[in-house]
Structure 1
């Protein structure tokens, strides 16, 4: 085992395949928005504006509470570089996975007043990958399970009938990760074998902010700009557990670590959004997200005891900044029923030859549909479904050698994801 290969497993910390955003970012923050391709910065739809653009919250007339949950059902496959031309056994490479990111919003303030305030709870990072036993990259990664919860108290103020501003304190309240991989080990008594490593840790509480400006240029056109700051996710004193190692004291002495520390940047995002109402019952939205992924240059671990002779190691990520383009709309069919549709194109921050098993990322195309139904004046249900195709991506062993990143696997990945969601809302 090399420290580089150990590092690859750790690279999954807070960074597994995201549901419908590049890298390890997840934006399933509002059910109405989900049905419209994820747009929201230039609209004042409901209390989910706390996430998409806090500046728009003051323009939301209703006070209310809403809760939503999504089921990200991913189907991923991998073919090694020398495994032939077809995905003969790909169905057994990665098991199908389901995760359930959720959101909760409560908005308060006078109906006709200038200010609104609220609290938002959402899960912007959360995923699961489970590779089959004996897969080609098992010495890189076999399993990851990631959970996170963010809390955001928010305030918004309408300067006048056209302009409003807002901001929220983003609290990275809870983060937990469990990841596992196999270890190639040389037995001093002869021959080779393999053991297993499990890394388990919780992230420290960290603070950031989310701020935005919303402007109604005309009765039909609105513009919004929002910014979510970078947060450094830090795990200190995570548990390292080795199993199935030979009983030899020599082997045991090379794998004596029991704790690890690591930091992963969760990148800043700037969004420009437009809202357009060409007809009384038709609303359109366009968002452009700019994510500063270049903050993720490397992943560096520190261990409490040497692993194969060293307490630290570093692995190159070298992400690049990336754009996401989102377009969606909604049409009010009746007083009770509104239907939605949209789509997005998400550019991957992962450069060619730098793909890792914990983030088998590529450019992705999404299509969305949704609807809302109101039961009277106060209660409503929101439904959404997203269809995400992460485009097939191949990297060769020669690319890995040229980039000096041979701590990952050469081959081809592809992933399809279906994400149904449901939300309940109550206005008061």
Structure 2
């Protein structure tokens, strides 16, 4: 039994950080930003600046509270290299959410706030009997980050900010079949379920607005090592002859969640029009391998290693908004997201590829203090094929050969109250 094929949970821990620079990131913090292609480092739009660039928070004119929620609907198709039916994901929906509360003196030099967001979250349920069932059948990942933030305007044009990003809650559930059958002809099955330890990172930024028509920002989110210790391992449908090789009950793994650096520019040609460009750089090259330990034999061994060898990746984002009336604003944008996953290293829990995104959004201000934001995103991952020969060449046969194609639709809504 190849232990490498048992668990891919480490990548699962990453399986959706803010749809930034491919891999596992999913940037769905601010509903306004979502409608503009995900830009934000070079803008001071609202309290969501705590996520995109804490340095811009001091330049946000209004204090306020905003809540946002998204729903991600993914359609993924897989066809094995050597033929067979096209396999589709069973239906699953993920609901990233966010909460931002900012306060401080209306005319003062500082602002502070608290941010709660879900940069990691994934739910994939492959078709029953699909060709990769011995690598993965189901994955469910949840996480909640809490970030207290302070921002200070050094001058009327320059501000800085710092947030302490705390992994307050993280859980993962991963399942796969085992290629042994019991007396009823059922394949063995393994389920991993665990919670990540609390960890702390930094989110810092600088924001510069030399004129009413131009703004520039730089932000940096630090690397965090996500660690699961004492996670539960549960087996089912094992024949008596195989149970001696599957006695482990707990697992441990540590995964680097990579650092991200973003440079953003905002241009305001008129009072009504804003255009912005962001470039994200994610240090995925820190993710070299996935290493597990078990408290007993799992497939005959108490540890395993699976190669990753990711490479650093970029995302380009472009978006804008136009104020049609005092109450109504429309937005649009797009993105090109480069995958960090090399050929021959694609795995079922993150069948990643270069992706193109198109976004739209709008806001309606109902009165002096209350407004509603909506956004929608369409993300298309390019078709990604890896052959059995690729897997043999890279010694990554813990994966499955074939072609993946994924499309995602993400509607979102946000509520804002300013004071």
Q: CA offset at residue 10 of structure 1?
A: 2.7
Equivalent residue for 1:247? Answer: 240
Which of 119, 135, 140 lines up with 2:135 in the alignment?
A: 140
Bigger drift between 15-24 and 149-158 goes to: 15-24
* TM-score of the superposed pair, with normalisation by structure 1: 0.95
Q: Does 2:399 correspond to 1:408?
A: yes
Q: Does 2:353 correspond to 1:362?
A: yes
Question: Do 1:170 and 1:208's aligned partners in 2 also have CA atoms closer than 8 Å?
Answer: yes
- Flag structure 2 segments of 5+ consecutive residues without an equivalent: none
Deviations 1:11-61 (A, max 9, x none): 443133667331111110000000000000000000000000000000001
Output the CA distance in 2 between the equivalents of 1:387 and 1:130. 20
Output the CA distance in 2 between the equivalents of 1:144 and 1:372. 34
Deviations 1:385-428 (A, max 9, x none): 00100111100000010011000000000111110000000001
Output the CA distance in 2 between the equivalents of 1:259 and 1:389. 37
Question: Do 1:16 and 1:129's aligned partners in 2 also have CA atoms closer than 8 Å?
Answer: no
Equivalent residue for 1:168? Answer: 163
Which of 213, 231, 241 lines up with 2:206 in the alignment?
A: 213
Which of 217, 224, 229 lines up with 2:217 in the alignment?
A: 224
Question: Do 2:146 and 2:168's aligned partners in 1 also have CA atoms closer than 8 Å?
Answer: yes
Equivalent residue for 2:315? Answer: 324
Q: CA offset at residue 247 of structure 1?
A: 2.3
* Secondary structure class of the residue paired with 2:218: strand
Q: CA offset at residue 194 of structure 1?
A: 2.5
Deviations 1:269-314 (A, max 9, x none): 0000000001110001100000000111000000001223321110
* Secondary structure class of the residue paired with 1:13: helix
Output the CA distance in 2 between the equivalents of 1:10 and 1:109. 42
What's the RMSD between the two structures over aligned residues?
A: 1.5
- Flag structure 1 segments of 5+ consecutive residues without an equivalent: none
Equivalent residue for 1:203? Answer: 196
Question: Do 2:50 and 2:115's aligned partners in 1 also have CA atoms closer than 8 Å?
Answer: yes
Equivalent residue for 2:71? Answer: 71
Aligned length: 418
Q: CA offset at residue 377 of structure 1?
A: 1.1
- The 1:66–1:330 alpha-carbon spacing in structure 2 relative to 1, beyond 3 Å, is same
Output the CA distance in 1 between the equivalents of 2:16 and 2:72. 11
Question: Do 2:134 and 2:176's aligned partners in 1 also have CA atoms closer than 8 Å?
Answer: yes
Instruction: Map residues 4-403 of structure 1 onto 2, 5 A cutoff.
Output: 4-7=4-7, 9-16=8-15, 20-21=19-20, 22-83=22-83, 89-90=85-86, 92-185=87-180, 194-248=187-241, 251-403=242-394
Q: CA offset at residue 97 of structure 1?
A: 2.0
Question: Do 1:12 and 1:144's aligned partners in 2 also have CA atoms closer than 8 Å?
Answer: no
- The 1:76–1:18 alpha-carbon spacing in structure 2 relative to 1, beyond 3 Å, is farther
* Secondary structure class of the residue paired with 1:401: helix
Output the CA distance in 1 between the equivalents of 2:252 and 2:141. 17
Deviations 1:235-284 (A, max 9, x none): 00000000000123xx2111000000001111100000000001110001
Q: CA offset at residue 156 of structure 1?
A: 0.1
Output the CA distance in 1 between the equivalents of 2:12 and 2:27. 18
Output the CA distance in 1 between the equivalents of 2:14 and 2:127. 19
